[in-house]
Structure 1
């Protein structure tokens, strides 16, 4: 075995064995502490004085650059417009993520159990009319009859169901104003 150094290599006896480090203590620590802060970050933290409408105001460099980019975008600069659009997309993603984090607000439903709360709406929409035969009936609710058009619509939806019984047809006639004007669809009466 030749123990002479070859070009660019130490002699075989001076070489490290595979898996053995040439520096068991590791790389020596530097005396100077290196910061991982870039020069742009240092500049962004500084403040500048700007003149806005005749008033001096001190703002951060980052805000000044954003205002300048916004003004350039308004003036028609395409690169500034693209940058503003990126800001908008970034903001929308952030807001969407925040909305997903928030739990939905609980909605409290209150049911009064009072059936008369729809009476005024039914009268206003002309689905029902006041029953003139029962005006003197003492009740906390108005006595009403269904309008013929509403009954007609409901009967028109009865496709493929059994024929109405005699009791059902009498009930429909009793609760409908001007029940003689009803046109009974085929299959609803016997």
Structure 2
């Protein structure tokens, strides 16, 4: 009776003739060595320097900075979507919404809000009273 260990077989030990040879890959057509993933490619692309013409002077900046400068220019020219995107980036980079030292309202502001609230409630009651149908 022969033992499986003589032939190199058994659980977790494939037969010797079917094992990978030294230096042979288990996935020879897999990802080539040195190829980069998307995140690395994106980082390299955003860090690549480009030349800008800033007020008649050439200036080298990263692609990322150039894109942000372009976004800033569009926002300053009145592009609402660009302004919204720029402000959302600024908010994401800050600690959150700005905190105001004085959050109390003036008496006039409170009176305006109270008047508006009363008007909205009166409109809601009028609408509910008209829909009664009895």
TM-score by length of 2: 0.44
Bigger fraction of residues in helix: 2
**Larger RCO (CA under 8 A, 6+ residues apart):** 1
Q: TM-score, structure 1 length as denominator?
A: 0.32
